[in-house]
Amino acid sequence: MKSDSLLESFAYAAEGVRYALRTQRNMRIHAAAAVAVIMAAALLHLSWVRWVVLLLAITLVMAMELMNTALEAVVDLASPEVHPLAKAAKDAAAGAVLLSAIFAVAAGCIIFFRPVMDLLGSGG
């Protein structure tokens, strides 16, 4: 069995991200939200600790979306017909994305609250 080079492995992984961005509306929404959050964080000059938490939250959501996309593809391949277990698997994977997105929004609210209040002069 031929082993892929490290560079080929990275290329395959990048193709997976490109596939999800090309085919999954929610992945494009998450990516757009990530760009907006990164721009806001840069404009507000957030501390490195806040940056780390934001980047972790972004990575978590996008990784969950990639896993959801992969699971949906495998389920569709294994069970092209409608089946309750296929639905359960897809729903559970979508639930993981939802939970990670809820966490990311909550973390973003906490992280941005003080800097936005300071910017508005409210002091919060």
Active-site residue numbers?
65
- Residue written as tokens 């359960």? 88
CA distance 122 to 117: 5
- Which residues have CB under 8 Å from 50's CB, separation 6+? 41, 111
C-alpha to C-alpha distance for 114 and 116, rounded to whole angstroms:
5
Contact 86, 74 (CB under 8 A): no
